[in-house]
Amino acid sequence: MIRCLFPLMALTITAPAQTYSWKVGEPLPDLRLPTIDGTRTVSLSELRGKKLLLFEFASW
Amino acid sequence: MPGWHAFTKEWREKGDLALVGIVQEQHPDRARLFAQWQGLDFPILWDPFNLTGSKVVPITLAVDEHGIVRAVNPEREKFEDEFLRVVFPPTAHSAAARVEIPGAIADLMAHDPAQLDAAVAALESAASRTPIDSIALFRAGVARRLRYDADGGNAADFQGSLDHWRGAWSLDPEQYIWRRRTQQYGPRMDKPYPFYDWVAEAQAQITARGETPVALGAQLTPSELAEKGRFVPGGDEEEPDALKKVPLDTEGWLAIESATAFDTSGQTPVASLHLVLRPNAKLDVHFDDEAGPVVVWLGSVDQPDGFEFEARHHQLRPAKTGRAAEERRLAVDTRLRAGSRGGKLRGYVLFYGCQGVEGTCRYLRHDFEVELRVP
């Protein structure tokens, strides 16, 4: 049992941190984030059906 | 961005356009206050871990009805003709990329207290692997600061986040969002960046409108308020217990935690010192705010050239929550001589404390020592 677990652990440990960057001509990614009031989460890939302006900003 | 909000009002009201925001900030309550102040009535998402991977803000994306990004930072003059009025065909395109969110990050963003320690440990473990991954370092820093801001958060976590952010940012100096996260908590720069200097005005205007401003959890630091530092050599302030008449806190009624952040310019070393004064919960100690303020004296420094403080004598106001057992926090900058590698800062706290509801109340002195190491 223990031997079976090792390959899986190795896989998890070596996985690099994932990141993304915006690209013109590509769909918004399936990236799920909470709203600032914490009441729900939204995946960016759900945002379709209407034209959209997406602002990435900081209040500072 | 509030400019775009006003600019697009008519189209939004007709249902032709939707707005969504993503904030690259550590504290979602501050973004909530900003949205309340500016009347931003669209969904705003919170991305403290920088999962979008963006290195700068602000970024504006024009996204068509099929969810395809059509422009980054579009021009307002061409917005209607070249985007809004254009009917984009449902062209074949690659599937939406999936950004995997590690479970630990999802738990932290959901503010799940039961998972807090395990989530921080998981991200710390990711940050400690070799080769060093700057993204993992940044995220571990975010996690540690989230735990510092949670109930009973320890300053060691804040120090951990400062160290991780400094490491992450030094590996990727172009990462403006990470650099700002490091600078946000001090020390103040010669030309301070006005992070949250809008907060007081926002609170006043919201109150004048008859609304209650969104309450902020974490205390704003002098650096976040862009107050310019005024350093004095010290010496003209009267030491409150120079004769050591106040009895020492020998039973440990108080514990002092500290975190220090050095400036990112690498010139004259300026440290922002964050102190947390924590009453001993095991001994059921609380501050007696009615008897008098908590006083912090920043005293001697065992460094040949000395340090400069803005002020050495500080009085801490009662906790905002009114809970006498709540820890008190102080953020203050100190400037070292050029070329200094650091030294030990010694000071003390004078406080009125009580034990239990009907227990003894005493006036005590708690000496402390903080190691300042220039990175």
Which CATH number is B62's domain given? 3.40.30.10
Q: What is the extent of the structural domain holding B13? A: 2-84
Give domain status of residue B174, yes or no: no
CB contact under 8 A, A60 and B69: no
pLDDT of residue B303: 61
CATH of the domain at B270: 2.60.40
**Does A37 contact chain B (CB < 8 Å)?**
yes
Tens-place pLDDT, residues B93-121: 678 888 889 999 999 999 999 999 999 99
pLDDT band at A19 (very low <50, low <70, confident <90, very high): low
Residue A8: helix, strand or coil by DSSP? helix
pLDDT band at B347 (very low <50, low <70, confident <90, very high): very high
Pairing mode, strands B254-262 and B270-279: antiparallel
| C-beta of residue B23 within 8 angstroms of C-beta of residue B31 | yes
**Does A39 contact chain B (CB < 8 Å)?**
no
pLDDT of residue B91: 73
pLDDT of residue B289: 87
- Residue A13 pLDDT > 60: no
Give domain status of residue B218, yes or no: no
Q: Which residues of A touch B22 (CB under 8 A)?
A: 33, 54-57
**Does B13 contact chain A (CB < 8 Å)?**
no
pLDDT band at B122 (very low <50, low <70, confident <90, very high): very high
- Residue B38 pLDDT > 70: yes
Q: Which of A59, A56, A32, A54 is nearest to A43 (CA)?
A: A32
- Residue A15 pLDDT > 60: no
Query: Which of B84, B100, B123 is the last residue before a domain boundary?
Result: B84
pLDDT of residue B135: 95
pLDDT band at B209 (very low <50, low <70, confident <90, very high): very high
- Residue B333 pLDDT > 60: yes
Give domain status of residue B140, yes or no: no
Domain count, chain B: 2
Give domain status of residue B329, yes or no: yes
Angle at B183 between CA B107 and CA B5, to 5 degrees: 70
In order, the DSSP letters of B24-61 are --S-HHHHHHHHHHHT--S-EEE-TT-TT--SSS-EEE
pLDDT band at B358 (very low <50, low <70, confident <90, very high): confident
User: Which residues, at least 6 apart from B159, have a Cβ–Cβ distance to it below 8 Å?
Assistant: B258, B259, B260
Query: Which of B44, B62, B84 is the last residue before a domain boundary?
Result: B84
pLDDT band at A12 (very low <50, low <70, confident <90, very high): very low
- Residue B47 pLDDT > 90: yes
- Residue B77 pLDDT > 70: yes
| C-beta of residue B261 within 8 angstroms of C-beta of residue B271 | yes
DSSP conformational letter for B113 = G
Tens-place pLDDT, residues A25-47: 999 999 999 999 999 999 999 99
Tokens of B91: 């062209």
| A7-32 average pLDDT score | 68
Least confident of B34-43, B84-93, B254-263, B355-364: B84-93
Quote the pTM value: 0.87
Distance between CA atoms of B318 and B355, rounded to whole angstroms?
17
Q: Which residues of B touch A25 (CB under 8 A)?
A: 68-70, 93
**Does B96 contact chain A (CB < 8 Å)?**
yes
Query: Which of B31, B49, B84 is the last residue before a domain boundary?
Result: B84
DSSP conformational letter for B167 = H
Tens-place pLDDT, residues B261-303: 887 666 677 888 899 999 999 999 999 988 889 999 988 666 6
- Residue A1 pLDDT > 80: no
pLDDT of residue B331: 87
When the pLDDT of each residue in chain B is averaged and rounded to a whole number, the result is 89
| Strand runs labelled E in B263-360 | 270-279, 285-287, 294-301, 307-309, 313-316, 328-336, 342-355
Give domain status of residue B220, yes or no: no
Give domain status of residue B263, yes or no: yes
B 104-133: CB under 8 A from A: 109-111, 126, 129, 133
| ipTM for the assembly | 0.87
pLDDT band at B133 (very low <50, low <70, confident <90, very high): very high
Give domain status of residue B362, yes or no: yes
Higher per-residue pLDDT: B375 or B251: B251
Give domain status of residue B295, yes or no: yes
B122-132 burial: b if 16+ Cβ within 10 Å, else e: bbbebbeeeee
pLDDT of residue A17: 55
Distance between CA atoms of B186 and B178, rounded to whole angstroms?
14
Tokens of B288: 């007696």
